[in-house]
Structure 1
Amino acid sequence: MERNSWVDYAKAIGIILVVYGHVSRGVHKAGVHMDESLFQLVDSIIYSFHMPLFFFLSGLFFYNSFNSRGASRLIANKVDTIIYPYILWSLLQGSIETILSKYTNGSVTFSEVLSLAWQPRAQFWFLYTLFLVFVISSFLFVLFDKSRSVLLLVVFGVLYSINGDLSQNLIINLVLGNAFFFILGVWFDDIKLVFEKNYASLAVAFGALFIIGQYVFHWPMGMMYEDRGLASLVLATVSICFVIALSMCLSRLSIKGLMYIGASSMTIYLMHIIAGSGARVALSKFMGIQSPAAHLVIGTLIGLAAPLVGQAMIQRYRLSALLTAPKSASAEAFLLRLRQKQVA
């Protein structure tokens, strides 16, 4: 098994769930007839772990990057690769949603779009929160050695479990609701070999636990993904472990298309709402299609494919500034130049 190739498969699984989840919610909100109980169940299962999975995957390579760059340069790099696309695409998508609001489900205003500094909206909350988690983790690992990651894991696990009682602030809730999974990714490096040597048996074991856990959480316990606490923490962790082991199994099959989707997950994340919403509007408003199955399948496929086409165009016409900060506006490059001047 190629080292770490499983990560792209895990990203692919995650981003497919993200696109499907948003398409499904959009179709439901648009009033297309769907089985309500089935929609709520599938939605809750997906949302119980798909974003924690991305925080976990983001934490996997944090410590190596932290060691090689240092805290300040790492944060500057994340300004280029997270904050820059967060601002750019929040403005782009928000402007499109505002201009075309009469065709869509929402009624977005420009004032809401311009509130991105303190009120992240749509899917971009993830980038906003991820950057804050990177900053917090950088400061923590300046103070603590990686051997203390288990201690940090326990602390953030407790904070996650009691988060609702601590604060009603959106930003605090977002950070405390996801930092545990990021630190879990940092700590996973210590046990990665166990998974790599036993991925097949672990895929079966965690697959069974995933099914049992989702059943117990949603039926006997009568909970939904919004019910944050120890139960949802355990469920998300078990689900992430299942995806890890499954992805390691998939990496043996060398499914290049799936790997490409995973490697392109950031681009898909940035663009899929525009693509998926456009597909829904075209199907319902202009083609008169009201079949929920058609909306879900076509919307998900376009939500995945259109951003990949967009990425190909960006690469062909050298428009990388649509995805990451150009050198002229790079925070990391500015920091390096500043350090060189200080040395000189």
Structure 2
Amino acid sequence: MENRDLWVDHAKALGIVLVVYGHVLRGLHSAGIPMPETFYRLSDSIVYSFHMPLFFFLAGLFFQQSFAAKGARGLVFSKFDSIFYPYVLWSLLQGLIEAILADYTNGAVTYAEVFALLWAPRAQFWFLYALLLCFLLAVTVFSLSRRSIIPVTLVAALLHLFPSLLPEGLMWRYIADNFVFFALGILGAGQLRGMAASGWQVLFTVSLFVIAQYGFHGLLELHYTDRGILSLVLALVSIATVVTLCSWSARWPLGSVAYLGTTSMVIYLMHILAGSGIRVLLKAVGVDSFLLHTVTGVAGGLLLPLLALAIIQRLQLRYLFAAPISRWLTLSLNWALPRAGR
């Protein structure tokens, strides 16, 4: 495996651990599990200051390669396989389970909310919705001019800082919030290919990360929701730290870490059900230890989806995480276009 691929897997592994931790922590807080409020607010804000921008950045790294290989139409169709289909399927699966078990969980999910997924994504699935929008926008940009990515990135940064410049609506908010990181991933792909950071570079970026997070949260007493130039810089410093750290760790073949990265989508789709289930079971038997809930919730949120994946693969169940929509669309178009020319 190329170093570039391996460090990306390491970065995805770190990112998905943070995702699971963040959602477990929020679930425990909503469920009333006793925990230090200061720790909760600080920990939550640090994680949310960069963990999802990291995933948009990593997705952007491979955009040009995929665009060159598949073309505009092929890339769009492939994202219906790998993003839109699992978004719809797992939004329905998780949403229906949450609606049925609403009396036993933190939320009061309604069936109307579940079936509004095409215009109102909910829970963790907003990421897939926003990611598809980023791909569609990037395909449009590259179809018009591949050289326009730099000015488009600058515009994306401006819109991130001033989202009121866009019309109101979830679609525009998702683009304003996230496309700048996706575009930066596209720009950085060439420079990061084969990157292997030194120990000194890791020490420098980790130190910079600590200083930036302390300055933002400690000195300025800001929260990740206080969006502006400082929050953008904080996210970029944090992403740079992850990239440096993971390009350094990629020197060693940490198979279990890389596997977490390659299965991060599976974990993302199922970790809420796994973590919530563990929390409900522990509460049912009278456990209210914050530490025990956190450790078992994060471990279960990571490992139970992997166990489910192993069972799914063993049973050869198809189309739970992707579907051949692109092949169906291509066949339909190839059939329709000749007929239209008759």
What is the TM-score with the length of structure 1 in the denominator?
A: 0.94
Partner of 2:53: 52
- Given that 2:197 and 2:248 are in contact with CA atoms closer than 8 Å, whether structure 1 keeps it comes out as no
Relative to structure 1, the CA distance from residue 198 to residue 205 in structure 2 (aligned partners, 3 Å threshold; closer, same or farther) is same
Deviation of 1:174 (Å): 1.4
Please tell me the residue identity of whatever aligns with 1:78.
K
- Given that 2:45 and 2:223 are in contact with CA atoms closer than 8 Å, whether structure 1 keeps it comes out as yes
Deviates more, 1:313-322 or 1:50-59: 313-322
- Given that 2:33 and 2:289 are in contact with CA atoms closer than 8 Å, whether structure 1 keeps it comes out as yes
Deviation of 1:186 (Å): 0.5
- Given that 1:160 and 1:177 are in contact with CA atoms closer than 8 Å, whether structure 2 keeps it comes out as yes
Please tell me the residue identity of whatever aligns with 2:222.
M
Relative to structure 1, the CA distance from residue 135 to residue 54 in structure 2 (aligned partners, 3 Å threshold; closer, same or farther) is same
CA deviations on 1:48-68 (whole Å, 9 max, x unpaired) are: 000000001111111111111
Partner of 1:334: 329
Deviates more, 1:299-308 or 1:157-166: 157-166
CA distance in structure 2 between the aligned counterparts of 1:337 and 1:121, rounded to whole angstroms: 31
* 1:191-206 equivalence runs, <5 A: 191-193=191-193, 196-206=195-205
Partner of 1:129: 130
Partner of 1:169: 169
- Given that 2:4 and 2:247 are in contact with CA atoms closer than 8 Å, whether structure 1 keeps it comes out as no
Residue-pair matches, total: 338
Relative to structure 1, the CA distance from residue 223 to residue 303 in structure 2 (aligned partners, 3 Å threshold; closer, same or farther) is same
Deviation of 1:315 (Å): 1.2
Deviation of 1:123 (Å): 0.1
- Given that 1:75 and 1:134 are in contact with CA atoms closer than 8 Å, whether structure 2 keeps it comes out as yes
State the SS of the aligned residue for 2:43.
Answer: helix
Deviates more, 1:246-255 or 1:43-52: 246-255
**Alignment gaps of 5+ in structure 1:** none
Partner of 1:227: 226
Deviation of 1:129 (Å): 0.6
Deviation of 1:205 (Å): 1.8
State the SS of the aligned residue for 2:195.
Answer: helix
Partner of 2:290: 292
Deviation of 1:156 (Å): 0.6
Partner of 1:6: 7
- Given that 1:98 and 1:108 are in contact with CA atoms closer than 8 Å, whether structure 2 keeps it comes out as yes
Deviation of 1:221 (Å): 2.1
Deviation of 1:200 (Å): 3.2
CA distance in structure 2 between the aligned counterparts of 1:53 and 1:263, rounded to whole angstroms: 15
Relative to structure 1, the CA distance from residue 261 to residue 141 in structure 2 (aligned partners, 3 Å threshold; closer, same or farther) is same
CA distance in structure 1 between the aligned counterparts of 2:314 and 2:276, rounded to whole angstroms: 26
CA distance in structure 1 between the aligned counterparts of 2:200 and 2:236, rounded to whole angstroms: 17
* 1:82-231 equivalence runs, <5 A: 82-145=83-146, 147-164=147-164, 166-193=166-193, 196-231=195-230
CA distance in structure 2 between the aligned counterparts of 1:2 and 1:93, rounded to whole angstroms: 36
CA distance in structure 2 between the aligned counterparts of 1:69 and 1:265, rounded to whole angstroms: 23
Partner of 2:40: 39
What is the TM-score with the length of structure 2 in the denominator?
A: 0.95
Deviates more, 1:243-252 or 1:34-43: 243-252
Deviates more, 1:247-256 or 1:59-68: 247-256
State the SS of the aligned residue for 1:227.
Answer: coil
Q: Percent identity?
A: 46
CA deviations on 1:259-307 (whole Å, 9 max, x unpaired) are: 111110000000000000000000012x110000000000000000000
CA distance in structure 2 between the aligned counterparts of 1:220 and 1:197, rounded to whole angstroms: 33
Please tell me the residue identity of whatever aligns with 1:39.
Y
CA distance in structure 2 between the aligned counterparts of 1:338 and 1:215, rounded to whole angstroms: 54
Deviates more, 1:200-209 or 1:241-250: 200-209
CA deviations on 1:86-134 (whole Å, 9 max, x unpaired) are: 0000000000001111110000000000010110000000000100110
State the SS of the aligned residue for 1:270.
Answer: helix
Please tell me the residue identity of whatever aligns with 1:128.
Y
Relative to structure 1, the CA distance from residue 339 to residue 200 in structure 2 (aligned partners, 3 Å threshold; closer, same or farther) is farther
State the SS of the aligned residue for 2:103.
Answer: coil
Partner of 1:305: 303
Deviates more, 1:102-111 or 1:251-260: 251-260
CA distance in structure 2 between the aligned counterparts of 1:333 and 1:205, rounded to whole angstroms: 50
Please tell me the residue identity of whatever aligns with 2:334.
R
State the SS of the aligned residue for 1:321.
Answer: coil
RMSD between aligned residues: 1.7
Deviation of 1:166 (Å): 4.2
Relative to structure 1, the CA distance from residue 337 to residue 111 in structure 2 (aligned partners, 3 Å threshold; closer, same or farther) is closer
Partner of 1:25: 26
**Alignment gaps of 5+ in structure 2:** none
Please tell me the residue identity of whatever aligns with 2:70.
R
Please tell me the residue identity of whatever aligns with 1:188.
G
